[in-house]
Amino acid sequence: MEGVDHLAHERNKSEFDVDAMKIVWAGSPHAFDVSDRISKLVASDPGFRKDNRSTLSRKELFKNTLRKAAYAWKTIVDLRLSEEEAAKLRFYVDEPAFTDLHWGMFIPAIKGQGTEEQQQKWLPLAYKMQIIGCYAQTELGHGSNVQGLETTATFDSQTDEFIIHSPTLTSSKWWPGGLGKVATHAIAYARLIVGGREHGVHGFIVQLRSLEDHSPLLGITVGDIGMKFGNGAYNTMDNGVLQFDHVLDVYSIAFASIAVMLWVSQVTCEGKYKQSDVPRQLVYGTMVYVRQTIVADASCALSRAVCIATRYSAVRRQFGSQNGGPETQVIDYKTQQSRLFPLLASAYAFRFIGEWLKWLYADVTQRLQANDFSTLPEAHACTAGLKSLTTTATADGIEECRKLCGGHGYLCSSGLPELFAVYVPACTYEGDNTVLLLQVARFLMKTVSQLGSRLSSKKPVGTIAYMTRVEHLMQCRCGVQRGFAELSADLVEAAVAHCQLIVVSKFIEKLQQEIPGKGVKQQLEVLCNIYALFLLHKHQGDFLSTGCITPKHAALANDELRSLYSQVRPNAIALVDAFNYTDHYLGSILGCYDGNVYPKLYEAAWKDPLNESVVPDGYHLYIRPLLKQEIRTARL
Ligand SMILES: CCCCCCCCCC/C=C\CCCCCCCCCC(=O)SCCNC(=O)CCNC(=O)[C@H](O)C(C)(C)COP(=O)(O)OP(=O)(O)OC[C@H]1O[C@@H](n2cnc3c(N)ncnc32)[C@H](O)[C@@H]1OP(=O)(O)O
Ligand SMILES: Cc1cc2nc3c(=O)[nH]c(=O)nc-3n(C[C@H](O)[C@H](O)[C@H](O)COP(=O)(O)OP(=O)(O)OC[C@H]3O[C@@H](n4cnc5c(N)ncnc54)[C@H](O)[C@@H]3O)c2cc1C
């Protein structure tokens, strides 16, 4: 039935103020207003239609992405949207595109690591999209091992130029988004060589394509690396390959009288390399920034999947009919709840950890500007670890939501296959999740080695303050220092546990704040308890074997979890409504707001290109000869 809200009875059950929860989710009344306005604007504009992606060929798909990006830019300019509104518009357009890298990495890299001169030259052009940039770090042979990159940037003191060169096949830049077909410029990472001496990997701003006709500049070979996982999905992005053949980085030279380098170091015109007194690790600064945004984004992707699975679980009925009455809603099965509600709790937990990490990043940035580098290692460990934790849990969570939707979850019209295909590379890009956890483990072990050391007067603070209270860490000291590589699989687990502790403690801190709205805080308390107790339940073997809990505690935790699931049940639909997603953004028939799933699924099936004719193309060539046993005459 059109116009009927099939989930109205569920919405009537809720025990809290959904509008107030929407504001908690958005972060503030202002953030809610912007998000609400812009999401509706995108949803109501046919120019941003996205329901046909899985049926387009790669070329059609890509051209359509270019059209949408241009249309989005025109909308931003015509409506004079603020930077915040423009970012929200790109978010709700919901299509991976070269613009993600331009706004998400190229501009932040110049802002975070460029000198003032560099910023003055490039940022105005980039903000107006008169140049389009990408972030070209990874190579065919090396991604994780940044120090292993092979591209060279040799300073020629005769001409005052850098010569950027790809000496081997494996030094070809490989993967950068936007590079394949669109970017006019790149921040390219290369080993700096001055006066025959190497000075490690640095970033360079390099022009790749003509601003007149888009052809590659002299010495540049550039193209797309080919189709990726899934239909549609991330194939809207032109991940690229790039080779430099002794390219002169004239643009770098042109705008700075000395040389274009990141602010961590400079090359003088006499050909001298000068390392400034800021830590060398700041070369990795853009990665810290992007990891933080990826954490903030994880809650969006997970909440989206959870919203679809929750609404559909309330619509779907299987078994349990009594006296001809309706069957049981699958959301009422305890097994469904025990799989779904921890994911709902995770979506909220990741929302708050994303908020906190944003604060931490702003704090470390401010300190860096004042030459205080003391919190950089913690910021690196937090962004790396939380990026790893949240993206792994989100990718797994999206797949679990697909299974929670049974067979219909496997249809593209459920929105879940595409969401998974788009999301899953987040476990790899911006740092492979295991490699990042090893960085956290390294940070933790460094802290352990300093604990109790007579030479170090530093007391752990911030997210590692708890370590002073864990007595047996003192005894761990010697063993771990000797055998990091040997113990790395266990250390990665310790790193995950450390990150989970941060997520739980920041969720608890959030609840200590004033949270207005009838019943809102109580709902969040229930979700926080589910998040923490589910972890305890899942890892009870570890807790029991280390004597942190007794079997009685474990049983109590399990009982409590069951009771918490029952408390969430009447509020489940309202808790996902609080995400305030439009049907356009959700892109899912199973998750549509009114729950009118079956007529929509039926209608969508008939729109598939295969159903354009009753008898399929190929019938006369392949089906009829089979049926008539004339296969020898068929043209194969
Ligand atoms: C349905 C349709 C649409 C649906 C949409 C759904 C949702 C979409 C989700 C999208 C999400 C967000 C949008 C954002 C867009 C993203 C687009 C993709 C972008 C991808 C871009 C990239 O991938 S760029 C390339 C990234 N590459 C990496 O991350 C490489 C990883 N490797 C490294 O970071 C480093 O090399 C290493 C840290 C692993 C090792 O470094 P090194 O060789 O130097 O070794 P050490 O271990 O010895 O480290 C030396 C010391 O430096 C410290 N360190 C290391 N890194 C840092 C750092 N970043 N900051 C500070 N300090 C650092 C390290 O700790 C060591 O310190 P000490 O111990 O004190 O010596
Ligand atoms: C969709 C997508 C978009 C991307 N966009 C960009 C971009 O815009 N710009 C850019 O520069 N790059 C980009 N990348 C590249 C990305 O950053 C790298 O792929 C990523 O950093 C992983 O590096 P790798 O491919 O070298 O993996 P590898 O390091 O080769 O990993 C392979 C395996 O080895 C393991 N491994 C590696 N090192 C260790 C170790 N020390 N200890 C234990 N195990 C280890 C890993 O865990 C993994 O299981 C993108 C990648 C993808 C998939």
Tens of pLDDT, residues 180-203 = 999 999 999 999 999 999 998 989
**What is the distance between the alpha carbons of residues 187 and 579, in angstroms, rounded to a whole number?**
36
The alpha carbon of 379 and the centre of ligand 1 are apart by a number of angstroms equal to 12
Residue nearest to atom 47 of ligand 2 (CA): 434
Residue nearest to atom 28 of ligand 1 (CA): 431
Amino acid 116: pLDDT: 84
Amino acid 455: pLDDT: 60
Instruction: Check if 97 has its Cβ closer than 6 Å to any atom of ligand 1.
Output: no
The alpha carbon of 424 and the centre of ligand 1 are apart by a number of angstroms equal to 16
Residue nearest to atom 1 of ligand 2 (CA): 425
What is the pLDDT averaged over residues 197-225? Answer: 95
Give yes or no for residue 329 having a pLDDT over 80. yes
**What is the distance between the alpha carbons of residues 104 and 9, in angstroms, rounded to a whole number?**
42
Name which of 50, 51, 19 is nearest 36 in CA terms: 19
What is the pLDDT averaged over residues 287-308? Answer: 97
Residue nearest to atom 9 of ligand 1 (CA): 423
More confident residue, 263 or 242: 242
Q: Is 138 annotated as a binding residue?
A: yes
Give yes or no for residue 250 having a pLDDT over 60. no
Average pLDDT value for the chain: 92
Amino acid 264: pLDDT: 53
Amino acid 3: pLDDT: 75
Amino acid 114: pLDDT: 84
Instruction: Check if 146 has its Cβ closer than 6 Å to any atom of ligand 1.
Output: yes
Amino acid 79: pLDDT: 98
Pocket of ligand 2 (CB under 6 A): 101, 135-138, 142-144, 175-177, 234, 239, 425, 428-432, 434-435, 438
Give yes or no for residue 256 having a pLDDT over 80. no
By CB atoms closer than 10 A (0-12, 13-18, 19+), residue 600 is middle
Give yes or no for residue 481 having a pLDDT over 50. yes
Instruction: Check if 138 has its Cβ closer than 6 Å to any atom of ligand 1.
Output: yes
Instruction: Check if 23 has its Cβ closer than 6 Å to any atom of ligand 1.
Output: no
What is the pLDDT averaged over residues 385-393? Answer: 98
CA 439 to centroid of chain Cα atoms = 19
Q: Is 462 annotated as a binding residue?
A: no
**What is the distance between the alpha carbons of residues 585 and 91, in angstroms, rounded to a whole number?**
9
Per the CB < 8 A criterion, the answer to whether 524 and 509 are in contact is: no
What is the pLDDT averaged over residues 141-163? Answer: 92
Amino acid 51: pLDDT: 83
Amino acid 10: pLDDT: 98
What is the pLDDT averaged over residues 414-420? Answer: 97
Q: Is the Cα torsion angle 299, 305, 306, 311 positive or negative in sign?
A: positive
Calculate what percentage of the chain has a pLDDT beyond 70: 94
The ligand with the least distance to the CA atom of 141 is 2
Instruction: Check if 435 has its Cβ closer than 6 Å to any atom of ligand 1.
Output: yes
* Whole-number Cα distances in Å, 266 to 150, 195, 273: 20, 14, 6
Amino acid 134: pLDDT: 98
Name which of 473, 475, 450, 474 is nearest 460 in CA terms: 450
pLDDT, tens only, 59-92: 999 999 999 999 999 999 999 999 999 999 999 9
Amino acid 617: pLDDT: 94
User: ipTM strictly over 0.90?
Assistant: yes
Residue nearest to atom 8 of ligand 1 (CA): 423
pLDDT, tens only, 336-383: 999 999 999 999 999 999 999 999 999 999 998 888 999 999 999 999
Instruction: Check if 440 has its Cβ closer than 6 Å to any atom of ligand 1.
Output: no
Lowest mean pLDDT segment, chosen from 16-25, 237-246, 463-472: 463-472
Structure tokens at 259: 């040389």
Lowest mean pLDDT segment, chosen from 318-322, 398-402, 407-411, 500-504: 318-322
What is the pLDDT averaged over residues 550-560? Answer: 97
Active-site entry in 430, 486, 509, 612: 430
**What is the distance between the alpha carbons of residues 627 and 288, in angstroms, rounded to a whole number?**
62
Instruction: Check if 92 has its Cβ closer than 6 Å to any atom of ligand 1.
Output: no
What is the pLDDT averaged over residues 136-161? Answer: 93
The ligand with the least distance to the CA atom of 297 is 1
* Ligand 2, pocket-test mutation among 428, 442, 493, most atoms within 8 A of CB: 428
**Residue 85: active-site member:** no
Amino acid 449: pLDDT: 86
